[in-house]
Amino acid sequence: MTARLHERVRRMRERALIRAWEYRQRAYSKGVWFRLRRVLVDAERAFSIPEGDADQLESEGQQPLAVGHELSPAKRIFFVRREQLLKLDAVELPVRLTAPLLQATSVVLVAHGSNDLEGELGSGSAPGA
Amino acid sequence: MEFRTRLLETLRAVRSVLNEPGVLVGGSEVPNLLEIDARSSLVVSEDVDIVVPVDSHDGVKRALQSVVGFQQSAEEPSVWLPQRPELIEVNFIGMDSGPRAGETYVFEDAALPLLVFGNLCLLRPGKPVHVEDLVIPVPRPAGLLAEKLLTDRSGDKGDRDLLVVMGLLLVSEPADLDELVTLYQSLPPDQRYSIRSNLGILSLLEPRSQMPDPVPHRARLAKLMARFERADAT
């Protein structure tokens, strides 16, 4: 009578073991999606930009976020202020892990309420990145 | 018949069970019940979870003897299937706050076996919901938020479950979030990581029909994430 319940418990314990393994591996490739999502959590909007614009941002001292280098092919991801965004040839993307964002090789993000955070965002590093 | 009517009619039918000490309505129907006048605008699943503390199991079994309108499922004996269209399915799930708290196991019983979910030990009784002639015991939002954010999930059902978290956040008070952060701090690191991971997934979900849309609330989710991270740092 309780065979199904026991089977569900067995599957849940199996998933718990996998989760524990994923947690132990979080600093390695297994944690990349967590880190990428974490960066996106802080972004109100996301845009794809041409390589030349990404080069320009780097030449101005803007450092791409570390998580972009963990992806293959690598992606340059920057947080920018709204006024910086106006100078870029930016195409808006949905802020979620969908094909347009994953296919873009250079991405700029605008933080929530970035007008209020101009001084805090600094050079391309976002909280938790 | 609208969902709210069926949900309330079902809770009316199992009222004797809800009167047992420690029994709570759990799961995705809680945000529905916490809406003004239990408006029940979210349709995640057409069933309701009744959380049974293992200490109250005998009392619940006795109370079930007076419940009519349901038939116990032969395949899943903790599920009671509705026999009338105005009712929805009832799932009885176990909660253990005793020595086995945090453990997931099968509570064996010939009449009402239960799957005891380890994370349900995070639930604490909240302010009951008074609607029509019913007094409905529900958990405090903080514990339910933590439990929902910890539950393993995958696929569309998993996404919809996370949107229930969004629904709960929308009806939570600042004090509930303070309590959530305190609860978060009490958890082991791997569970805190799971909570942050699921919160991140929630922040990036697409809107779904009849579910709360996370998009207008993403800044609020980011703030909650930052609070969790600050709690980790202290």
Return the domain boundaries, chain A: 3-119
Bridge partner residues of A93 (DSSP): A46
Check whether A117 has a pLDDT greater than 80: no
pLDDT band at residue B193 under the 50/70/90 scheme:
very high
- What pTM was computed for the model? 0.89
pLDDT band at residue A128 under the 50/70/90 scheme:
very low
Check whether B156 has a pLDDT greater than 70: no
Chain B: nearest CA to A123, how far in angstroms? Answer: 19
Residues A3/B76, Cβ–Cβ less than 8 Å = no
Of A62, A60, A72, the closest CA to residue A36 belongs to: A72
Candidates A2, A12, A15; nearest CB to B77: A2
d(C-alpha A81, C-alpha A17), whole Å: 42
Query: Residue holding tokens 């990428």?
Result: A36
For chain B, the distance separating the N- and C-terminal CA atoms, rounded to the nearest angstrom, is 51
Neighbours of A21 (CB within 10 A): 11
User: What average pLDDT does this structure show over B119-130?
Assistant: 96
Q: In a 10 Å sphere around its CB, with 0-12 CB exposed, 13-18 middle and 19+ buried, how is residue A26 labelled?
A: middle
B64 Cβ contact list (under 8 Å, min separation 6): B16, B17, B112
CB contact under 8 A, B77 and A26: no
pLDDT of amino acid A126: 42
- Within 8 A of A127 by CB-CB distance, chain B residues are 226, 229
Check whether A127 has a pLDDT greater than 50: no
CB contact under 8 A, B229 and A112: no
Average pLDDT across chain B, whole number: 93
Shortest CA distance from B205: residue in chain A? A96
pLDDT of amino acid A14: 87
d(C-alpha A114, C-alpha B127), whole Å: 38
- Within 8 A of B226 by CB-CB distance, chain A residues are 127-128
pLDDT of amino acid B161: 81
Residues B75/A4, Cβ–Cβ less than 8 Å = yes
User: What average pLDDT does this structure show over A98-107?
Assistant: 95
What residue spans define the domains of chain B?
Answer: 1-139, 140-234
d(C-alpha B132, C-alpha B136), whole Å: 10
User: What average pLDDT does this structure show over B78-91?
Assistant: 96
Least confident residue range of A24-28, A93-97, B26-30: A24-28
Least confident residue range of A13-27, A55-69, B178-192, B214-228: A13-27
Which tokens sit at B128? 């009951």
A13 Cβ contact list (under 8 Å, min separation 6): B104
Residues B181/B187, Cβ–Cβ less than 8 Å = no
Given phi > 0 = left and psi -120 to 50 = alpha, else beta, which region is B37?
left
pLDDT of amino acid B125: 97
- At residue A5, the 3 state secondary structure works out as helix
* Strand pairing class (A76-79; A106-111): parallel
Q: What percent of chain B has pLDDT over 90?
A: 80
pLDDT of amino acid B159: 82
pLDDT band at residue B92 under the 50/70/90 scheme:
very high
d(C-alpha B213, C-alpha B190), whole Å: 28
DSSP letter string, B194-205: HHHHHHHHHHTP
A3-61 pLDDT per residue, tens = 889 998 998 888 888 888 888 988 888 899 999 999 999 999 999 999 999 999 999 99
pLDDT band at residue B155 under the 50/70/90 scheme:
low
Of B158, B214, B199, B200, the closest CA to residue A97 belongs to: B200
pLDDT of amino acid B40: 86
Check whether B1 has a pLDDT greater than 80: no
